[in-house]
Amino acid sequence: MVGITCLFSLSTLVVTAQRTISEGTLVYNISVETGTKEPKMADMLDGATTTIYLKNNESRSELVSGLGSEVTIHDYRSGNGVILKDYSGQKLMITLAREDWLKKNKRYEGITFDNTSETAVIAGYKCTKAVAKLNDGSTFTVFYTTELIVANKDFDNPFKSLPGLALQYESQSGKLQLKYTLSRISFDVVSASKFDIPKSGYRVLTYDETQKK
């Protein structure tokens, strides 16, 4: 009976230690991990940031670098979204329907994560290192914490099946290997205006139009 009581108490501690995020802001710093024949490109990406705003079923991801900015707004409930690109003064809006969102993230279907014995503390949270494997055979590493869970798992498709929040991970951008590391997290209320889609100022294209060669 004592053993059962202790086990129940331990389970309670684990559950109460985990926080579900339905609203908040995540800020990731980006560093370039591998060289390139175009050092200027690497320099402009090194030191970039990605800020993610979450509010119930909506998400907004802002990538800001020396090259320009790229914003992705997505509503999981409707399945619709947009990508707003602003590079060298050229402003482009790419509209996304639910099926477009699935196409855009198709490479992450069936992704698996294998935990390793390595751990780290990132932004004050204990993380486990895992190796992600995609269907095409490629892999990347991710450090995630089970202390934080995002209610809207669709905000970041690569990590939908991850049992926690990714605080550090690798990503490929052309020939560059990038590393994203959480630098700040806020649980404050996010303004609903963050998810408003601009009505002017952008050249509008559908997702299919951007995929035509």
Q: How does pLDDT run across 122-134, given as a tens digit for each residue?
A: 999 999 999 999 9
Q: What band does 117 get if pLDDT is binned at 50, 70 and 90?
A: very high
Q: What are phi and psi of 170, to 5 degrees?
A: -100, 155
Q: Are the CB atoms for 188 and 24 separated by under 8 Å?
A: yes
> What average pLDDT does the structure give for the chain?
88
- Distances in Å between the Cα of 107 and the Cα atoms of 51, 127, 161, 173, 178 are 23, 25, 14, 14, 18
Average pLDDT rounded to a whole number, residues 143-160: 93
Name the residue with higher pLDDT: 136 or 35.
136
pTM: 0.86
Cα 175 off chain centre by: 20
Q: Residue 158 has which token pair? A: 């690569």
Q: Which residues pair with 128 in a beta bridge?
A: 119, 144
Instruction: State the DSSP code for 182.
Output: E
Domains of the chain, each with CATH number or no CATH:
19-211 (2.50.20.10)
Dist. CA 30–CA 180, nearest whole Å: 5
Name the residue with higher pLDDT: 61 or 178.
61
